[in-house]
Amino acid sequence: MRNLQFIFVALFGFIVTSFNAQTRTEIELKEGWKFAKGNHENAYQSAFNDSKWQTVTVPHDWAIYGPFDQEIDKQIVAIEQNGEKIATEKTGRTGALPYIGEAWYRNNFSMPQIKPGQKVLLTFDGAMSEPRIYLNGKKVGEWNYGYNYFYFDITDVVTTSNTLAVKLTNRELSSRWYPGAGLYRKVKIIIKNEESIKHWGTYITTPFITQDLAKVNIKTKVSGNQFKLITKIKDASGNVVSADTTTTCFGNEFDQNMAVKNPNLWSPETPYLYTTISQLYSNDSLKDEITTTFGIREIKYEANKGFSLNGNIRKFKGVCLHHDLGPIGTAINKAALRRQLTILKDMGCDAIRSSHNMPSLEQLELCDEMGFMFLAESFDEWAKPKVDNGYHLFFETDVEKDLVNLIHATRNHPSIVMWSSGNEVPDQWGADGVKRAKRLQDIFHREDPTRPVTVGMDQVKATMESGFGALLDIPGLNYRVHLYEEAFEKFPQGFILGSETASTVSSRGIYKFPVEKAVSKQYDDFQSSSYDLEYCSWSNLPDDDFILQDDKPWVIGEFVWTGFDYLGEPTPYDEQWPSRSSYFGINDLAGLPKDRFYLYRSRWNTSDNTLHILPHWNWEGREGETTPVFVYTNYKSAELFVNGKSMGVQKKNNDTPQNRYRLMWMDVKYQPGTVKVVAFDDEGNMVAEKEVRTAGKPYKIILEPDRTILKANGEDLAFVTISVVDKEGNVCPTATNQLKFSVTGKGRYRAACNGDATSLEQFHLPTMKLFSGKLVVLVQSDKEAGDMRLTVTGKGLKTANVILKSEKIESE
Dihedral of the CA atoms 39, 100, 395, 138 (nearest 10)?
A: 20
For residue 615, cis peptide bond before it (omega within 30 degrees of 0): yes
The pLDDT of residue 80 is: 77
Whether residue 296 contacts residue 469, with contact meaning beta carbons closer than 8 Å, is answered with: no
Report the CATH fold assignment for 31-62+99-185. Jelly Rolls (2.60.120)
The pLDDT of residue 150 is: 98
Strand pairing category for 196-209 and 645-651:
unpaired
Q: How far is CA 110 from the centre of its chain?
A: 35
Q: How far is CA 61 from the centre of its chain?
A: 17
The pLDDT of residue 10 is: 42
Q: How confident is the model at residue 16 (pLDDT cuts 50, 70, 90)?
A: very low
Whether residue 480 contacts residue 555, with contact meaning beta carbons closer than 8 Å, is answered with: no
Q: What angle do CA 536, 540, 546 make, to 5 degrees?
A: 155
Q: Which of 251, 239, 257, 289 is nearest to 18 (CA)?
A: 289
The pLDDT of residue 510 is: 98
Give pLDDT tens digits for 431-484. 999 999 999 999 999 999 999 999 999 999 999 999 999 999 999 999 999 999
Report the CATH fold assignment for 317-503+538-569+581-604. TIM Barrel (3.20.20)
The pLDDT of residue 79 is: 81
Question: pTM surpassing 0.85?
Answer: yes
Strand pairing category for 611-614 and 555-561:
unpaired
Does residue 152 have a pLDDT over 70? yes
The reply to whether 700-807 shares the fold of 619-693 is yes
Give pLDDT tens digits for 416-425. 999 999 999 9
Q: How far is CA 774 from the centre of its chain?
A: 23
The pLDDT of residue 17 is: 39
Does residue 14 have a pLDDT over 50? no
Q: How confident is the model at residue 126 (pLDDT cuts 50, 70, 90)?
A: very high
Q: How far is CA 73 from the centre of its chain?
A: 24
The pLDDT of residue 81 is: 72
Q: How confident is the model at residue 549 (pLDDT cuts 50, 70, 90)?
A: very high
Give pLDDT tens digits for 618-631. 999 999 999 999 99
Give pLDDT tens digits for 640-684. 999 999 999 999 999 999 999 999 999 999 999 999 999 999 999
Give pLDDT tens digits for 262-307. 999 999 999 999 999 999 999 999 999 999 999 999 999 999 999 9
Q: Which of 312, 379, 380 is nearest to 350 (CA)?
A: 312
For the structural domain made of 700-807, what CATH number should be given? 2.60.40.10
Distance CA 477, CA 485 (A): 11
Does residue 500 have an active-site annotation? yes
Helical segments of 654-756, H only: 657-661
The pLDDT of residue 3 is: 43
The pLDDT of residue 679 is: 98
Q: Where are the domains of the chain?
A: 5-17+195-298, 31-62+99-185, 317-503+538-569+581-604, 619-693, 700-807
> How confident is the prediction for the chain on average, in pLDDT?
95
Distance CA 46, CA 107 (A): 10
**3 state SS of 614:** strand
The pLDDT of residue 811 is: 57
Distance CA 443, CA 403 (A): 8
The pLDDT of residue 18 is: 40
CA-only gyration radius of the chain, Å? 27
Distance CA 451, CA 418 (A): 5
Distance CA 709, CA 805 (A): 5
Give pLDDT tens digits for 69-82. 999 999 988 887 77
The pLDDT of residue 226 is: 85
Q: How confident is the model at residue 85 (pLDDT cuts 50, 70, 90)?
A: confident
What's the maximum distance between 2 C-alpha atoms anywhere in the chain?
88
Which one of the listed residues 195, 289, 424, 569 is annotated catalytic?
Answer: 424
Which one of the listed residues 302, 381, 500, 569 is annotated catalytic?
Answer: 500
Residue spans of beta strands (DSSP E) within 635-737: 637-642, 645-651, 663-665, 674-680, 686-693, 700-705, 709-711, 717-725
For the structural domain made of 5-17+195-298, what CATH number should be given? 2.60.40.10
Q: How confident is the model at residue 12 (pLDDT cuts 50, 70, 90)?
A: very low
CA-CA-CA-CA torsion sign (751, 757, 761, 767): negative
The pLDDT of residue 442 is: 98
Does residue 62 have a pLDDT over 70? yes
Does residue 489 have an active-site annotation? no
Give pLDDT tens digits for 189-236. 999 999 999 999 999 998 899 999 999 999 999 998 889 999 999 999
Whether residue 196 contacts residue 167, with contact meaning beta carbons closer than 8 Å, is answered with: no
Mean per-residue pLDDT for 307-326?
A: 98
Distance CA 665, CA 650 (A): 7
Q: How confident is the model at residue 1 (pLDDT cuts 50, 70, 90)?
A: very low
The pLDDT of residue 564 is: 98
CA-CA-CA-CA torsion sign (510, 516, 519, 522): negative
Superfamily of domain covering 619-693 = Immunoglobulins (2.60.40.10)
Under DSSP, the state recorded for 226 is S
Q: How confident is the model at residue 19 (pLDDT cuts 50, 70, 90)?
A: very low
Does residue 11 have a pLDDT over 80? no
